Amino acid sequence: MRTAVVLLFLLAVAAIPGSLFPQRSLTPSAVTRYFRENPELAPVLDRLGMFDVFASPWFSAVYLLLFLSLIGCLVPRCIEHLRALRADPPPVPRHLHRLPVHTTAEVPLPADALAARVEADLRSARFRVSRRSTAAGVELSAERGRVKETGNLVFHLSLLALLAALAGGKLWGYEGSILVTEGDGFCNSFQQ
């Protein structure tokens, strides 16, 4: 997680020259003007990729490292989450009296009837419940909160899918632009 935060900060810092210097992909005429106005500095900046920041190898390296960091963080978390979803809730601690919030009460119901009632109440409150028979009687353990991690993982997986779709669009897609003077038309196919 720390690596991802550092890479996000580095990506933000690396994007600053893209807003300070004219970019060839947006305004090639402004880049030409910059070369005319700064003949000594412009070639140095061009070698550093300052006029094509978002297509430069150093910016792509930071972007790819962030992408790999996201994958490296998600895969183990998804595997662990799937294991936790399949596992039973943890058993009741042996020394329940050591927990900060605990109580003891005498109930006139039989143990099985009471356990069934408590289990129904816990399930209606959307807890995962595990019932075990022990030498001392019936033991119930319950947990919830797995939906929060599922939502977090779905968000990060969708972010990963979005980044992969953007990369695929840039690799296999195409785009073009054309200037059309007002009053003129443009058609890229033969007319009848």
What's this model's pTM, rounded to 2 decimal places?
0.64
3-state secondary structure of 134: strand
Type of residue at 176 = G
Question: Which value, in Å, is the radius of gyration of the alpha carbons in the chain?
Answer: 31
Summarize pLDDT for 97-148 with one digit per residue, the tens: 888 888 888 888 888 888 899 999 999 998 988 888 877 778 888 888 877 8
Quick one: how far is CA 28 from the chain centroid? 35
> 105-113, long-range: CB within 8 Å, 24+ apart, which pairs?
111/137, 111/138, 112/138
Cα(15)–Cα(53) distance, integer angstroms: 7
Backbone angles phi, psi at 126, to 5 degrees: 65, 35
Inter-CA distances, 154 with 81, 86, 149, 159, Å: 12, 18, 9, 8
Phi first, then psi, for residue 103 (nearest 5°) are -150, 160
Q: What is the pLDDT of residue 190?
A: 64
Furthest-apart CA atoms within the chain: distance in Å: 94
For the beta carbon of residue 172, count every other beta carbon within 10 angstroms. Answer: 7
> How confident is the model over 15-64, as pLDDT tens digits?
999 999 999 988 899 999 999 999 999 999 999 999 999 888 898 899 88
